Amino acid sequence: MKHLLHLVRRFFASLLPIGPSAADDAWAREHLTVAEQELWSGMARVDRRHSAAVARKVEADLGDRATTPVLAAALLHDVGKTIPHLGTYGRVIATISEAVAGEATARRWAQTRGFTRRVGQYVLYPELGVDLLKMAGSDDLVIAWSREHHLPEDEWTVPADLGRILQAADDAG
């Protein structure tokens, strides 16, 4: 239920296709490598706005423990969404499709063409993000959180206390 509420909030927030403030964008870039900044620039405005809010909350919650890799993990956890190039309504279709058809079907769809392929890719965006972050030379924590941010806690490799803070910030953002 908590995940559903998060998705509903994100949907309504995405109806206003505005990005982060100039201050939040500049702040985010300070916590990213040059290669990660390129990934950040490729994210949709609404995803950058969301991720900046997530990272700001993580920073507020962790204080001095909010290291650069932790903030980069918060900022880039949704970077895999850049691959399928779906707008708001396409994302809604992908989310519903995953709920109805499951991940295995999405994996098959990701091997097809056109819109169906993009829907399949969207469902698999955490894995796509992992590839992008590896190519960018991101810290292992950033890569792990991209892969794990929708998994149950018992499947995380990131420290559970840190994962809970990142997840709570993502749900609130």
Domain that holds residue 83: 2-172
pLDDT per residue, tens digit, the chain (173 aa), is: 445 565 566 666 666 668 899 999 999 999 999 999 999 999 999 999 999 999 999 999 999 999 999 999 999 999 999 999 998 888 888 888 888 888 899 899 999 999 999 999 999 999 999 999 999 999 999 999 999 999 999 999 999 999 999 999 998 87
Q: To which residue do tokens 């990272």 refer? A: 55
Q: pTM of the prediction?
A: 0.88
What total of structural domains would you count in the chain? 1
What's the Cα-to-Cα distance from 4 to each of 1, 11, 40, 128, 130, rounded to whole Å?
5, 11, 25, 22, 24
> In 3-state terms, what secondary structure has residue 98?
helix
